[in-house]
Each structure stands twice: as C-alpha cells, then as structure tokens.
C-alpha cells in the first residue's frame, strides 16, 4: 500500500469532482485569508467542527496539494472501508469512551503515521473538539492536537493554523459559508515557556491557545446560561429579509423550478428520503445531499443523455441535458427562497 502522503494520480483525478460538488453545495462561499506556505514547517490545520463531513470537505478546498485528516476510528472497522478511507487520506483516531480497546491501542500506530505525514511536508487536519455540534460555540479542545503538535515541534518547526467554519444554516442545503483562516500558532515558540511543566499542564497551555484563536474566527457565543438569549438577540439584529422580493422571484422562476424538479427528481427524492428516514443526526443531512450529488449526478447525466437522444430531436435533448446540469441546485435554491433563507449571523459582527 502506498504511503498516505505520496502523490496519487487517481486521487488527484477524483479530487476535482469532489471539490466541484463541495463548492456547489453552497449558494455562496466567502474565504477570508489564505493558508500559509509550509516553508519547511510541519503544518497542523485546526478547524472548528459543526457540520460533520462537510467541515472536512470545506477544509480540503484550502489546499490543492492535499491534506491528511483524522477521523473517528469506528468507521475503519471493515478492511475494505478502511482501505478506501486510507486512499482518501484519512487516518483513524480512537477515543476511550467510544471505541474498542484494540482501536485505542492502535492510536500509537496512528500517531506515528501522522508524524511521518508531517515530516514529509503534508499538512494534517484535526477537529480538535473531538466531535461535531451545531452551535455557535466551541467544545473543549482535546489533548490530541497538543500531543501531535508538541511531538512534531521537538523534531521540526511546527505551526497550528486555526480555521473558522461558519454556516448560515447547518441543516438546509445551498446555504452560505464563511471560511476564516487565522494566524499560525508557532508551537516551537511555546516550548521554552512550558519547561518544567508536566505533560498535561503543557498540553493545556496549547489547548487553551487553540480555543482562544478559534473563538476569534467564528461567530462565537459563550456556551453558558445566556447562550439562547444571546442567540435570539443576534438573530433580531439581522437585516429583515425582503420577503416580497423573494416571493416575486419564486413566482417568476416557478416554470424553471418545475422543469428542474422533474429532471433532478431521482436525486433530490433520494436525498430527502435519506435525510428524513435514514439520517438520525440532522447535522449529517447536508452530507447526505452532497453524497447524492457526488455519485448520482454523473450517473443520471448518462441516463438522461441516452433517454433524451433516443426519444426526441437532438436540439430538444441537448437543451434538457443542459438544464439538467444545474437542476439539483435550482431545486434547493427555489425551496430555500420560498421557505425563507436564513441570514448569516456573522453579518452582525462589527
């Protein structure tokens, strides 16, 4: 098996399609800042974790050369799935309160592989909160990122780049996304100030620093007894939606919506079935919709091309096929228009 950091032509080929589907999952993406160049440094990317697999897909967009991701260990239990995930540049990270003793024991091998990834100049992305949560706050930062960062810093220059992912809506497809890249944290610069500390104390210094920097990059509300009150106040401060304009636009575009809904029915029908009957965690719904686009869109492009060109004049077949291309996005954009699009809370920032 090839090393996870090595260039892979097959991975690069499919990466273009994955990136395209990721971008088309949003009506608008705003990226603030850029990832720094490694310049001989090991780079650990540390995004917040609010929207399941979409967080990883959005983080992946930041670097064309590739990134290795840490993921929960239980999805690696079947050998064939594990091989696919390794091809996708994912490594298993086990937790004692969730995974088996055998999986936890394999963390040592995983940490060694992560260190080799960093040594070979490929960034490693870790969701340092350990689990996702759809709130405008952060869970406590776990020790894993500190352990990886200090282990690397002892051997080579190492930085942590915090990345804030903000969604205007976690549960509805084709919302807005803001990606905000923070200033790198120089892990080596922290080492002298932690001399004489225990490993736990040293790790907590870096955990607190990551938490502090991440909180600056998202629309952040403290997760305390005032959270709901602050959230309500923030929503009240948003510009009032122009519903009259939205309804007029929906009425005028209704014929386009009907045709798009028919053309993309196999896609959105399957996606909504999965979301409402199979996916228990609502935060995974947009991941399901992304997956249907990723796999189903090219499949039905071929099916519709055969059906259309065999049953109707070529010019009509070509027109319907061209309309099919954006139809999945048009369907969700129109339904969001009628439902009322949620405004991004970061618009209230000063």
* Domain limits, the chain: 9-215, 243-348
CA atoms within 13 A on the CB side of 286: 30
Give me the pLDDT at residue 129, please: 95
pLDDT tens digit sequence for 246-259: 999 999 999 999 99
286: left (phi over 0), alpha (psi -120 to 50) or beta: alpha
| Percent of the residues in the chain that have a pLDDT greater than 70, as a whole number | 99
Give me the pLDDT at residue 98, please: 81
Give me the pLDDT at residue 13, please: 93
Q: Give the span between the Cα atoms of 95 and 99, in whole angstroms.
A: 6
Say which CATH topology domain 9-215 has: Glycerol-3-phosphate (1)-acyltransferase (3.40.1130)
Rounded to an integer, the average pLDDT of 82-89 is 90
Give me the pLDDT at residue 191, please: 93
Q: Smallest Cα–Cα separation from 119: which of 198, 40, 234, 34?
A: 40
Give me the pLDDT at residue 1, please: 62
Residue 295 C-alpha from the chain's centroid = 18
For residue 196, pLDDT over 70 is answered with yes
* 171: DSSP letter: S
Q: The tokens of 339 are what?
A: 């439902």
Give me the pLDDT at residue 39, please: 85
Pairing of strands 90-93, 124-125: unpaired
Task: Name the residue with tokens 């990270």.
Answer: 93
Q: The tokens of 80 are what?
A: 């064939």
Q: Give the span between the Cα atoms of 135 and 65, in whole angstroms.
A: 31
Bridge partner list, 125: 45, 69
Which of the four pLDDT bands, split at 50, 70 and 90, describes residue 239?
Answer: confident
Q: Smallest Cα–Cα separation from 137: which of 211, 203, 71?
A: 211
Give me the pLDDT at residue 146, please: 97
Q: Model-level pTM?
A: 0.94
- Contact by Cβ (8 Å): 165, 179: yes
Q: Give the span between the Cα atoms of 322 and 315, in whole angstroms.
A: 11
pLDDT tens digit sequence for 102-137: 888 899 999 999 999 999 999 999 999 999 999 999
Rounded to an integer, the average pLDDT of 38-61 is 95
* CA angle (138, 140, 145) in 5-degree steps: 105
- Report the chain's terminal Cα–Cα distance, integer Å: 51
Mean pLDDT of all residues belonging to the chain: 94
For residue 350, pLDDT over 80 is answered with no
Residue 173 C-alpha from the chain's centroid = 13
Pairing of strands 90-93, 158-167: unpaired
For residue 193, pLDDT over 80 is answered with yes
Rounded to an integer, the average pLDDT of 14-37 is 96
| Percent of the residues in the chain that have a pLDDT greater than 90, as a whole number | 85
For residue 209, pLDDT over 80 is answered with yes
Pairing of strands 124-125, 42-47: parallel
- Contact by Cβ (8 Å): 209, 335: no
Give me the pLDDT at residue 313, please: 97
b (16+ CB within 10 A) / e for 1-27: eeebbeebeeeeeebeebeebbebbbb
For residue 242, pLDDT over 90 is answered with no
- Contact by Cβ (8 Å): 49, 132: yes
Distances (CA, A) of 164 to 28, 179, 285, 342: 16, 6, 21, 19
Task: Name the residue with tokens 């519903």.
Answer: 243
pLDDT tens digit sequence for 267-320: 999 999 999 999 999 999 999 999 999 999 999 999 999 999 999 999 999 999
Total residue count of the chain as it appears in this document: 350
* 274: DSSP letter: I
* CA angle (182, 183, 186) in 5-degree steps: 135
Give me the pLDDT at residue 72, please: 87
Q: Smallest Cα–Cα separation from 96: which of 48, 149, 143, 150?
A: 143
């Amino acid at each position: 098996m090839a090393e996870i950091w090595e260039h892979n032509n097959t991975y690069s080929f499919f990466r273009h399609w994955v990136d395209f589907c990721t971008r088309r999952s949003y009506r608008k993406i705003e990226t603030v800042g850029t990832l720094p160049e490694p310049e001989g440094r090991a780079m650990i990317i540390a995004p917040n974790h609010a929207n399941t697999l979409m967080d990883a897909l959005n983080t992946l967009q930041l670097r064309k050369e590739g990134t290795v991701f840490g993921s929960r260990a239980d999805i690696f239990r079947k050998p064939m799935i594990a091989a696919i995930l390794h091809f996708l540049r994912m490594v298993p990270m086990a937790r004692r309160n969730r995974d088996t003793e055998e999986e936890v024991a394999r963390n040592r091998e995983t940490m060694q592989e992560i260190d080799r990834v960093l040594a070979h100049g490929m960034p490693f992305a870790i969701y340092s909160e350990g689990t996702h949560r759809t709130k405008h706050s952060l869970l406590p930062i776990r020790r894993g990122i500190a352990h990886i960062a200090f282990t690397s810093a002892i051997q080579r220059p190492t930085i942590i780049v915090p990345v804030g992912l903000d969604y205007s809506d976690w549960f509805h497809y084709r919302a807005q996304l803001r990606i905000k890249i923070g200033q790198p944290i120089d892990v080596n610069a922290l080492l002298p100030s932690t001399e004489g500390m225990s490993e736990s104390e040293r790790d907590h210094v870096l955990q607190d620093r990551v938490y502090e920097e991440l909180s600056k990059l998202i629309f952040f509300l403290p997760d305390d007894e005032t959270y709901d009150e602050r959230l309500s106040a923030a929503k009240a401060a948003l510009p009032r939606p122009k519903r009259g304009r939205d309804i007029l636009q929906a009425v005028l575009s209704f014929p386009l919506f009907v045709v798009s809904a028919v053309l993309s029915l196999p896609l959105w029908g399957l996606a909504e079935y999965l979301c409402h009957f199979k996916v228990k965690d609502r935060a995974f719904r947009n991941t399901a919709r992304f997956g249907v686009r990723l796999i189903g869109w090219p499949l039905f492009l071929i099916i519709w091309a055969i059906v259309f060109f065999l049953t109707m004049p070529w010019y009509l077949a070509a027109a319907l096929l061209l309309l099919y291309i954006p139809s999945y996005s048009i369907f969700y954009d129109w339904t969001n228009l009628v439902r009322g699009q949620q405004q991004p809370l970061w618009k209230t920032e000063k």
